[in-house]
Chain A
Amino acid sequence: MAEVAIAGLPQSGKTLFFRAVLELRPTLTAADARFELPVEEGLEIIKKEPFKLPVPVRNYLVCAGCALCQKSCPFGAIYEEDLWIDLLECEGCGLCVHLCPNKALQLANMQVAELIEAREGERKFFKAQLFPGARGTPQLVKAIREQARKEAPYLLDLPSYHGKFLLYALDGTDLVVLFLTPEEQAFPLLKRVSYLAPRARLLVVLSRMGTNQTVEEALKKEISSRGIEVLGELPLMSEEELKGAFQETAQKFLALANL
């Protein structure tokens, strides 16, 4: 299994599990898809590279102000009043660039993050640091995975952000460890992950069990009807207890994933 991702609902202990697996395999490549905070202490940075997104830039000397770009932007990213391009809305599709009759627009690359290659003991660790408030998490997770793939197998820890980012995080993965808790959201997430990573082997860890019996029963039924393996089932516990419990789950996972 070359590309392994850990996804799931919040408060399920998935990052503790990630750490538990890494402790057992000091050479396994790791990647982290949380981009906001600076790199944690303990990681030795080897390389930093600028990461850029395509954004349209207008040359006002040739722009005729015809507003065709504004009218045709599929994402409503260009303001009617002053034709200003809102980079928080722009998806960088390039349609406006193509349509502008005066060739006044061009796609340029704007740096939004730094891609980081780091070392943790013998292990390679891939991360990124996003500029405060910048967009680009889908493209960043894709870029990080491309780097980590060169040092595969790798283990990727994902945040509990399930926007379109998830699509780029799971596409083409070989194995997904999905952490679920007895909440209504577990059902749509299970379906979505199976859909987005159709050829991946799926292993479920049920966490915070014993807190909502009706949902738990329905969830287990759903999991078994889909023929999905349950890697572990854990009651609601403290962080310390979880760390202990994950020792065993991590061992079992490593054997199953052949890592």
Chain B
Amino acid sequence: MIIGLLSLRGGVGRSVLSRALAQKFSAPVYELEVGLPKLWPAEEKEKEVVWGRLSRFKREKCDLCGDCVKQCQFGALSLEGETIKHRGPFCHGCGLCKEICPKKAIELKEYQVGEIVYGTTDGIELFAGRLLRRTPLEGTVIKKLKERFPLPSRAILKAPCGLHGEALSGLKEAEALILVTQPWDRLTEEIKLFGELTQGLGLGGMVIVNQVREEVSVASWCTAYGLFYAGEIPYLPGFQGDLLKAWPEGEAFWDRVRQHLEGGK
């Protein structure tokens, strides 16, 4: 079972949950938050550079006709005085400018756009990617990660924060989605949105509420939106790292999660 782990807001416990789920399911974690990865193996076993294409100008050939500037969909080019300004971090390397330039003044070059790594942290297998700051090629890094380290039949995909298409785009292979959240004033709206999303994607959805101080009653909300409510994880003061150790009373909760995810299969 490939599980996608999502959250609307940051800092609600995706990293901690992904580690706990990895332990419970003996599955590796894929860190897809490549813009700012939180999970990175303590012990790196393999590492690779990710290359991507970006455009480069040969100024001596350019006659400043401005065609490329008009066509670039990403605002990476502008005509400034006597020169074409190439705004590196915006270039997606699509090569459209190269195709349309009548003077053949543009070429595509391979640059280092990120890195991917495989390793372990406390015995958990971790595959992570990192985007270099000078490029927007998030998708390239995620694709390379999955290509170089193909997904096994069980895996946890940890998405970046948000319930938008950018966060979802790395979860294609997911067979079920889990929303991690915390009690807050818009919890029911969040659940509703997640329900709509999972229905739209035709996937099963599960909700976990983390860091609960006072009981939240959202089980019926979840059911109403076709979601499975796994239950709540209590607020554990001063807790860092290993959720299974910090919350030994959680056995029943984990059993429920496991049963739901594996029962259907």
Contacts and interface: CB of A to CB of B under 8 A. Distances in A.
A212 to B, nearest CB: 9
B133 A192 contact: yes
Interface stretch (B22-30, B159-167, B246-254, B256-264): B159-167
A232 interface: no
Nearest to B52: A74
A166 B35 contact: yes
Nearest to A76: B143
Contacts of A195: 89, 133-134
B212 interface: no
B224 interface: no
5 closest A-B pairs by beta carbon, nearest first, are A135-B165, A10-B11, A10-B10, A160-B10, A93-B94
B36 A38 contact: no
A9 B138 CA distance: 19
B34 A163 contact: yes
Contacts, number: 147
A208 to B, nearest CB: 10
Interface string A5-18: 00001110000000
Contacts of A89: 139, 169
Given A94-B96, A160-B11, A132 B196 contact: yes
Interface in B1-54: 8-12, 33-38, 40, 53
Given A37-B193, A134-B164, A163 B138 contact: yes
B236 interface: no
A88 B35 contact: no
A7 to B, nearest CB: 11
A136 B165 contact: yes
Given A88-B169, A164-B138, A132 B200 contact: yes
Contacts of B96: 93-95, 98
A9 B133 contact: no
A54 to B, nearest CB: 6
B162 A74 contact: no
Contacts of A112: 165
Contacts of A35: 164
A92 B138 contact: no
Interface string A147-174: 0000000000001111111110001000
Interface in B56-110: 71, 73-74, 89-90, 92-96, 99-100
B204 interface: no
Contacts of B193: 36-37, 132
Task: Specify which of B71, B92, B166, B186 lies most central, judged by the most chain A CB atoms within 10 Å of its CB.
Answer: B166
Interface string B142-167: 01000000000000000011111111
Interface in A136-154: 136-138
B13 to A, nearest CB: 10
B97 to A, nearest CB: 10
Interface of B: 8-12, 33-38, 40, 53, 71, 73-74, 89-90, 92-96, 99-100, 131, 133-134, 136-140, 143, 160-169, 172, 186, 189-190, 193, 196-197, 200-201
Given A37-B193, A136-B165, A93 B35 contact: no
Interface string A195-222: 1100000000000000000000000000
A163 B94 CA distance: 18
Given A93-B73, A93-B92, A192-B133, A133 B10 contact: no
B239 to A, nearest CB: 12
25 contacts: A9-B10, A35-B164, A75-B140, A88-B172, A89-B139, A89-B169, A92-B73, A94-B94, A94-B96, A95-B99, A99-B99, A112-B165, A133-B200, A133-B201, A138-B136, A161-B162, A161-B167, A163-B138, A165-B166, A167-B90, A183-B38, A185-B37, A188-B36, A192-B36, A196-B133
B151 to A, nearest CB: 16
Nearest to A164: B136
B35 A163 contact: yes
Given A91-B73, A132-B193, A161-B160, 17 more contacts: A9-B11, A36-B163, A36-B164, A93-B73, A93-B96, A94-B71, A98-B96, A134-B164, A134-B165, A135-B164, A135-B169, A160-B9, A162-B36, A167-B89, A185-B36, A185-B37, A185-B38
A252 interface: no
B65 to A, nearest CB: 16
